Amino acid sequence: MGRKKRKREVDKQLLDSLFAIEYEWKQIQSIVDKSIEPTEDGFYKENLARAKYLYLLREAKLRKISAIRY
């Protein structure tokens, strides 16, 4: 029972991180899109946030985690 509970907690943390990173990525993307002259730093931060999001999404898919369940 303890192992299942721990897995459920880790899965919940993964989903929370996934949603937080998605929100951060969308915000940065919006700022870069609205900028007249986006900087290299802005593009770098956007790509970094996107890479984090895709990594967490892939991890959630491997673990067969669905946001509907939580």
pLDDT at 67: 78
Quote the pLDDT of residue 38: 87
How would you write the pLDDT of the chain (70 residues) with one tens digit per residue?
A: 577 789 889 999 999 999 999 999 999 999 999 999 989 999 999 999 999 999 999 999 999 988 776 6
DSSP string computed for 20-54: HHHHHHHHHHHHHHH-SS--HHHHHHHHHHHHHHH
Q: Is 57 exposed, middle or buried (0-12, 13-18, 19+ CB in 10 A)?
A: middle
pLDDT of 4 reads: 75
Amino acid 69: pLDDT: 65
Write down the pLDDT at residue 55. Answer: 96
Amino acid identity of residue 18, one-letter, is L
Kindly compute the dihedral angle of the four CA atoms of residues 38, 41, 45, 48, in this order, to the nearest 10 degrees. Answer: 120
Q: Are the beta carbons of 60 and 18 closer than 8 angstroms? A: yes
